[in-house]
Amino acid sequence: MTTLPQAILLVLVVVAPVFVLFAPSFIGQKLLLPLDVLALDGVYLSEVPPDRVAWWGSSVLADQVLEYEMNRRFVTDELRAGRVPLWNPYGYCGAPFANFHKYSPFMWPYYLFGTPRVLPWIQLLVAFTAGIGTYVYGRRGLGVGYYPALVAAAAFPLVGFFVLWRGFSLTYVAAWLPWLFLAIDATVRRPVGLAPVGLAVVTALVLVSGQIDVAGQALLASGVYAVGCSLLKERGKRPVRRLATVGLMLTAGWGVGFLLSAPYLLPLADYARTGARFQERAAGSEERPPIGLPALPALLLPDAYGTSREGSFYLLDGNQLEGPAAGYAGVVLVLFLAPLAFVVRERRKTAAVLLAIGILGLSWDLDVPGAVQLLRLPVLNLMSHNRFVFVSAFAWVALAALGFEQVLRRERLRLPWLLGAVAPFTFGVWCLHSMGHLPEPVGSKLGTTLVNGRALFGSVDSIRSIQESYVVAYARGALLCLAAVAGWVLVVSRFGTSRWLPTVLAVTTVAELLGFAIGVTPQSDPAMYYPEIEALTPLRGTPDRVLGLGCLPANLNERFRLREVRGYDGVDPARMIELLELCRDVRVPAERYGRVQVYSSPVRVDSVGTLACSPVLDMLAVRHIVVRGEPPAKAKPVTRGSGYWTGLNPRALPRAFVPERIETTKDDAETLRRLGDPGFDPRGVAFITTKSDWSGCVDALLGKRVSGRAEIESEDSGAVTVITRMETSGLMVLGDLFDDGWKATVNGQPMPILRVNHAIRGVVVPEGRSTVRFDYRPSSFVIGVGLAIAAAVALILWSAGIAGWRVGHRLFEILRAHASAAEVPGQNEPGPATAAR
């Protein structure tokens, strides 16, 4: 049992590093956001005083500023307005708000206070969850003592995954991994009890807390751990029956956890099926393929191939966050403490299970045959397996806890264990060699640019800085390897029984991880937090749409409540992407991770100074074009200020309009071909595919000329009310993304919504004045809420039943004890000898 002083020390070692790392943000001097992203060319800020920008090279962290913070603000506003945020009207011409962790408990502080000042406190909560979970798992799951569990609790929140992905939702999932393993261990030990309830709750927390593919990887690792625990801990009679019981309760726990998270999972699954990015992954496309053995050095030394920060040069494909460096758990921890877990024979089976999980987590990066093919199977191929390394980091930390338990025994190991020093010695030699032979192009190619007096990678000083950063990283790795070799030498010598050795090892292990974490996470000047842009302020809340050309990447428009055709949410609704591709500027190619995040379309200035766009953009109500810099001489800006100007596209249709006639097409390909025709007139014609649902509703309108008008009367994120005034019956088109979750009524009567012009909505309306109301009520969310309520009721009943059974069993034992005492004759009477005296 943990005493109060031990509990206080545990909390201190877990939270103290967070305060050390982010002290400026805790006291309000900085914000825990990479706001220098806003100062990058073509993003947001046009002029920034140099003394306000701390250049971190944070383009790889841009999602924190371009997506996460915008989404947090949106959810906060929706909740305060009394709405569940299910639909985001500001991107992709509207889209389901499903691929964001809006239900994550780590987000609740932000929703409560509504300010980025709480971000360091959220990181404190993440570290606390991960650290305390690791401690409890060490004590109960692994059976180690207080100090080994303490070291593990301090180490896990500081591994590379938490450090490099700080501020991303991936770490919110990883923080629950120790609790998931703990719940599995408890369920295997006592399957008929409250442990499956805990497993269900933790499973739900894993699923709703952050990135869904990382949650899937955590559950995959937990399945491997469950199999290992079930096989290793099975003892006694009827093993098959007990294994069946354990398997049933584990499955029930996971299953109920999925049901609890159904309000999040079902809408996400519905939306993902319509996404271009998910469709590509399902077809076998790999954004980050395996690396192979070259990944191994970065797993031990995260800066072995440079960093993605300013002043360095990253050698591998992609960036450091997505690379093997995220699996870093410390040289001393991995190459010395973790192998010691195999010293005690009774611990070796548990250590073998953890080792298998650790290897599984690295299998994608290391391109392990068999494992890679397994991870490419359907469903599994939807995950980004390069991120699986967080499971490995936890496995090494758990093994290190077992190893530290061995160190505390102060037993001298046999000489053959000195072979453990081979690994750190070899890696140390590699580091020393790399110091004198830097990898290319950092070595000779950069040196050649210096010799020739040319600096292809920046100034001469920046090139030298890059080379020095590599030398420092390799020197650090060599010193850490020396420490690990020294540890092996000590444990096989008489010094292995020294009292000071555990303390030195604990301090060295945590200090190594903390040293890597210092300076990695950007903290920025609060003055750079999305300042006003004078040119955009007058447009705030306009019902029409805007398009940023060469500026304001998607989602930043939400800062001013502006609706955009561009969007960025990791899904990319395929139909809207296909529509926008018809008028893409070929000079701005699409990125695989965000097809229209920095999308651009040709725009010209006409003879009267207004702007002209593609007919497709006219159809989507793109009335305002936002441009950075100075306007052309012929242009007549509508607004100007803060380095921006906006121009008017007078040909843009209102979002609600009535086309003059309706035509049908045989399939989507024909629809796209006709929409992409330069002569397409969105006012004159609307296309409906004959294969689409409810296409027969317009049969009576085909070949007829329609006359009428429509205007939006009111709207919020989940509802739009349109008033139509029709001279004839016809089709009213709303230029927002079509989705099955929308329901429509015309004068209070339900009416089917047609998919018009490939991707937007339409409703048939009668002659005269009508009120058309669109409401977003996705059946997936309604069903999900029902399943979650049913699962919660089942958990409550199961918990009450177990508690009642325990109380009843306890009362039965007490009554039986009293009855047994009463049945013993003369128990309370003096014996014969006493009576004779």
pLDDT at site 785: 98
Q: Is the dihedral of CA 396, 399, 405, 406 positive or negative?
A: negative
Distance CA 496, CA 490 (A): 5
Question: Could you tell me if 391 and 177 are in contact, meaning their C-beta atoms sit under 8 angstroms apart?
Answer: yes
83 HSE (CA, 13 A, CB side): 18
Give the chain's largest Cα–Cα span: 131
Distance CA 501, CA 88 (A): 57
Which DSSP letter does residue 686 get? Answer: E
Distance CA 731, CA 746 (A): 12
* CA 329, chain centre distance (Å): 20
- Write the secondary structure of 62-88 as one string of H (helix), E (strand) and C (coil): CHHHHHHHHHHHHHHHHHHCCCCCCEE
Token digits for 729?
A: 């019956």
Closest CA to 101 of 164, 167, 36, 162: 167
- Which amino acid would we find at residue 22? F
Closest CA to 322 of 388, 378, 392, 371: 388
pLDDT at site 143: 94
**Given the structure tokens 């692994």, which residue do they identify?**
142
Backbone angles phi, psi at 176, to 5 degrees: -90, -5
Which DSSP letter does residue 331 get? Answer: H
- Count of other CB atoms within 10 angstroms of residue 189: 14
**Given the structure tokens 């050698």, which residue do they identify?**
315
pLDDT at site 471: 92
**Percentage helix, strand, coil for the chain under 3-state DSSP, each rounded to 5:** 55, 10, 35
Token digits for 172?
A: 């919110």
Closest CA to 561 of 65, 79, 74: 74
**Given the structure tokens 């490939």, which residue do they identify?**
758
Residues 462-475 as b or e (16 or more Cβ within 10 Å = b)? bbeebbebbeebbe
Question: Could you tell me if 168 and 334 are in contact, meaning their C-beta atoms sit under 8 angstroms apart?
Answer: no
pLDDT at site 444: 67
Block mean pLDDT (10 aa), the chain, length 837: 91 97 96 92 78 60 94 97 97 96 97 97 98 97 96 98 96 98 95 93 97 96 94 70 91 97 97 89 84 94 88 84 95 97 92 96 95 91 93 98 94 91 96 91 62 52 82 95 95 86 95 95 93 94 94 95 95 96 90 89 92 96 95 93 95 96 93 95 92 67 90 96 96 96 96 95 96 97 98 95 84 80 58 46
Closest CA to 288 of 321, 308, 320, 318: 318
